[in-house]
Structure formats: C-alpha cells, structure tokens
C-alpha cells in the first residue's frame, strides 16, 4: 500500500509535465528532478516517473514525425507557387497564380498532419490529468501508445 506522500509525489510528477506551457522543456526537466530524487525510495514513484517521462518522450517523437510531414509539404507548396522574379525586383510577394488544383492533395496531407498534432496535444492534456488522478488514488497507470524508453 502506497503512502499519501508517495501518491502525491507520483501525481505531482505527472502534473509537472504541464510546466511545458510556462518553461521550455519543463515537461522533461521537472519530472526528471522529481523522479530521480524519489525513485530509490518508492517503487510506485519510480513507476509513475518512468511513465511520465516515457510519455513525454513519445509525444516528442510523434510531434517530430508530424512536423517532418507538415513543414516540407507547406514549404514545397508555397515555394512552387512563388515567382523568384519578385525577389529580384524587390516588389511585394503576391501569389497571383496559386494553383489549388495541383496542390490540393499535398495540402490535404499537410492539413491532416497538423490536425493529428492538434489531436495529440489535446489527448496529452487529458491523459496527464487522468494519470495524475490514477496516481493520487494509488493505482499504477500506463499511458497508451507510449514507447518504453525507460524500463
């Protein structure tokens, strides 16, 4: 049976990933600090710390995959439709002849990648809250679709 302190520490480990909205890389820094300071004292905190870090690292990998799809798609589409004479003549950039017909398929792929990223971030928010509730109740929780970097 986990003590109240262990349950609170485990829940706070999950909730500390929200620091990413205030501090860059806070979703890695604070869980690592909490987990490494308490992992030897409690198997429950160790499990939850690993889960929180594995989930955040998995989200990073998935985000990079979505970015590797969306960014080149939009850059290729835009650069294909820019006249480079506009750069030479120092005139304003105007997309006069943007061809939607030839670009709609690739733009759809890019839009789906952005939509997937947005859905993943919303799911991350709710899954972190759910994991922290499970940890505060003393239950072991494993995030879905998580790559086990730390075992």
Q: DSSP per residue over 126-148, as a string?
A: HHHHHHHHHHHTT-----TT---
CB 142 within 8 A of CB 54: no
Q: Is 147 left (phi over 0), alpha (psi -120 to 50) or beta?
A: beta
Question: How many other CB atoms are there within 10 angstroms of residue 4's CB atom?
Answer: 9
CB 35 within 8 A of CB 53: yes
Q: Counting Cβ atoms within 10 Å, is residue 144 exposed (0-12), middle (13-18) or buried (19+)? A: exposed
Tens-of-pLDDT digits for all 151 residues of the chain?
789 999 999 999 999 999 999 999 999 999 999 999 999 999 999 999 999 999 999 999 999 999 999 999 888 887 776 666 656 666 666 666 666 777 788 889 999 999 999 999 999 999 999 999 999 999 999 999 999 999 8
What pTM does this model have? 0.85
d(CA 27, CA 108): 31
């Amino acid at each position: 049976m986990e003590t109240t302190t262990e349950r609170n520490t485990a829940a706070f480990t999950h909730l500390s990933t929200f620091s990413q909205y205030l501090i860059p890389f806070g979703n890695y820094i604070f869980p690592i600090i909490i987990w490494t300071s308490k992992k030897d004292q409690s198997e429950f905190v160790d499990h939850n710390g690993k889960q929180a870090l594995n989930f955040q690292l998995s989200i990073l990998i998935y985000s990079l995959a979505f970015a590797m799809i969306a960014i080149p798609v939009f850059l290729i589409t835009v650069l294909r439709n820019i006249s480079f004479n506009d750069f030479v003549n120092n005139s304003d950039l105007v997309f006069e002849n943007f061809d939607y017909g030839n670009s709609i398929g690739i733009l759809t792929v890019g839009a789906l990648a952005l939509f997937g990223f947005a859905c993943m971030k919303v799911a991350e928010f709710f899954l972190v809250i759910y994991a922290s509730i499970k940890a505060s109740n003393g239950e072991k929780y494993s995030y879905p679709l998580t790559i086990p970097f730390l075992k």
